[in-house]
């Protein structure tokens, strides 16, 4: 789960961030090794001056890169420290016994009740989170353990803004769904619709769609399981996603937290599950990429770094 940084050695772009040397980017300098080789011999003073200017810029960029790398290392260390603390806490608080592991089959009712919440953004999600938390009492330690043991399929809840006048429970998320049931539940006068993914016959994913009891303009979509096929459409949704919270995922590396331990604040719980949630990670990466690419300084620096890398590689090849 190295979201913050991937393998450090392979992802070192040596970026130069700051006032972008766009002229350098547009007219990339000769690769660095060439400055120190005998093969590079400027023929006049003008070229010599340009070379020294470029060399100075390169030196400055290298210094900036060094500073940024050190800062990155510092943040990475802090991240790893926090991560190890979370892992320690996880191992201490949630080590189910063999009997507990051999408990009876999962109860779907309890699974739904113990859904965890991830705050997706701040636009309206806060209110929903509060409503959802008030609805569900804080899970006891036993309840949370059994919750962790019981659930198998990935459960994701999404709240969408729709027209309250529109009574249909159709949510366009790009996948193809087949409705197989509808039921009026006790806690909500609005009917709950049950859908199965019909894009692939063997796809195990189901979804439940129901209007929020508190706000009719909101539709709560609960996805269970993971698609065993690609996304049939690049269109994610025509509706506005207000918030997203998810329950535990399938097998694999999971973070287990004892929510009854008071030392762990709800924000921390949320943060841990945010990190754990693969979909959230994808969205986060997209948002980061989007905000970074909007920054002209970053794009210039990135282009500069990439061009520098290309020339460096070219240098290595040509010297070989």
Partner DNA sequence: CGTCTTTGACCCGCGC
Partner DNA sequence: GCGCGGGTCAAAGACG
Single out the residue of 258, 257, 253, 196 nearest to residue 227, CA to CA. 196
Please give the C-alpha separations between residue 267 and each of 118, 192, 263, 305, in angstroms, as whole numbers.
Answer: 9, 30, 11, 37
The nearest distance, CB 110 to DNA, in angstroms, is 7
Q: Binding segment for DNA among 32-40, 78-86, 174-182, 242-250 (CB under 7 A)? A: 174-182
The nearest distance, CB 166 to DNA, in angstroms, is 13
Strand partners, 241: 160
Residue 177, helix vs strand vs coil: strand
Compare residues 8 and 183 and give the one whose CB is closer to DNA. 183
**How far apart are alpha carbons 7 and 77 in whole angstroms?**
13
Compare residues 119 and 211 and give the one whose CB is closer to DNA. 211
Distance separating the N- and C-terminal Cα atoms of the chain: 37
Candidates 89, 154, 208, 211: give the one binding DNA (CB under 7 A).
208
Compare residues 27 and 231 and give the one whose CB is closer to DNA. 231
Q: What would the x/- binding string for DNA be over residues 100 to 139, using CB under 7 A?
A: ----xx-xxxx-x---------------------------
> At a CB cut-off of 8 Å and minimum separation 6, what does 277 contact?
118, 246, 249
Candidates 36, 39, 46, 186: give the one binding DNA (CB under 7 A).
186
Compare residues 52 and 100 and give the one whose CB is closer to DNA. 100
Q: What would the x/- binding string for DNA be over residues 134 to 173, using CB under 7 A?
A: ------------------------------------x---
Please give the C-alpha separations between residue 63 and each of 16, 47, 58, 74, 312, in angstroms, as whole numbers.
Answer: 9, 24, 9, 17, 17
Q: Does 189 interact with DNA (rule: CB under 7 A)?
A: no
Single out the residue of 150, 233, 220, 227 nearest to residue 192, CA to CA. 220
CB 319 within 8 A of CB 33: yes
Single out the residue of 143, 140, 64, 77 nearest to residue 110, CA to CA. 143
Q: Does 185 interact with DNA (rule: CB under 7 A)?
A: yes
**3-state percent breakdown (helix, strand, coil) of the chain, nearest 5:** 45, 15, 40
Q: How many other β-carbons are positioned within 10 Å of the β-carbon of residue 191?
A: 15
The nearest distance, CB 212 to DNA, in angstroms, is 15
Q: Binding segment for DNA among 47-55, 176-184, 228-236, 283-291 (CB under 7 A)? A: 176-184
Candidates 144, 177, 223, 280: give the one binding DNA (CB under 7 A).
177
CB 283 within 8 A of CB 158: no
| # of chain residues touching DNA (CB under 7 A) | 25
Q: Does 178 interact with DNA (rule: CB under 7 A)?
A: yes
Compare residues 36 and 109 and give the one whose CB is closer to DNA. 109
Residue 105, helix vs strand vs coil: coil
Q: Does 204 interact with DNA (rule: CB under 7 A)?
A: no
Q: Does 182 interact with DNA (rule: CB under 7 A)?
A: yes
Q: Does 69 interact with DNA (rule: CB under 7 A)?
A: no
Q: Does 223 interact with DNA (rule: CB under 7 A)?
A: no
Read off the tokens for 17: 């961030």
**How far apart are alpha carbons 153 and 290 in whole angstroms?**
31
Q: Look up tokens 């789960």; give the residue.
A: 1
Q: Binding segment for DNA among 17-25, 53-61, 130-138, 181-189 (CB under 7 A)? A: 181-189
Q: Contact positions toward DNA, by CB under 7 A?
A: 104-105, 107-110, 112, 170, 176-183, 185-187, 192-194, 198, 206, 208
């Amino acid at each position: 789960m190295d979201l913050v940084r991937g393998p450090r050695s392979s992802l070192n772009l040596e970026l130069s961030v700051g006032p972008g040397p766009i002229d350098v980017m547009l007219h990339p300098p000769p690769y660095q090794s060439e400055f120190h080789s005998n093969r590079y011999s400027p023929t006049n003073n003008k070229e010599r001056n340009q070379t020294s200017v470029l060399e100075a810029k390169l030196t400055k960029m290298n210094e900036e890169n060094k500073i940024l790398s050190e800062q990155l290392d510092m943040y990475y260390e802090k991240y790893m420290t926090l991560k190890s603390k979370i892992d320690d806490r996880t191992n201490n608080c949630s080590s189910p016994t063999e009997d507990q592991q051999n408990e009876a089959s999962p109860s779907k009712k309890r699974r739904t009740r113990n859904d965890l919440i991830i705050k997706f953004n701040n636009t309206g999600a806060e209110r929903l989170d509060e409503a959802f938390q008030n609805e569900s009492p804080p899970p006891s330690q036993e309840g949370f353990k059994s919750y962790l043991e019981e659930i198998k399929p990935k459960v994701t809840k999404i709240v969408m803004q729709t027209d309250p006048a529109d009574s249909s429970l159709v949510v366009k998320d790009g996948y193809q769904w087949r409705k197989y049931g509808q039921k009026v539940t006790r806690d909500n006068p609005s009917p709950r619709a049950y859908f199965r993914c019909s894009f692939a016959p063997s796809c195990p994913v189901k979804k439940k769609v129901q209007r929020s009891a508190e706000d009719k303009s909101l539709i709560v979509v609960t996805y269970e399981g993971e698609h065993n096929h690609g996304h049939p459409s690049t269109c994610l949704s025509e509706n506005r996603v207000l918030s997203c919270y998810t329950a535990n995922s399938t097998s694999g590396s999971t973070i287990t937290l004892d929510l009854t331990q008071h030392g762990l604040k709800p924000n921390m719980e949320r943060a841990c599950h945010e990190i754990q949630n693969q979909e959230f990670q994808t969205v986060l990466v997209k948002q980061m990429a989007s905000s970074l690419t909007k920054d002209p300084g970053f794009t210039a620096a990135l282009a500069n770094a990439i061009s520098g890398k290309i020339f460096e590689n070219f240098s290595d090849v040509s010297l070989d």
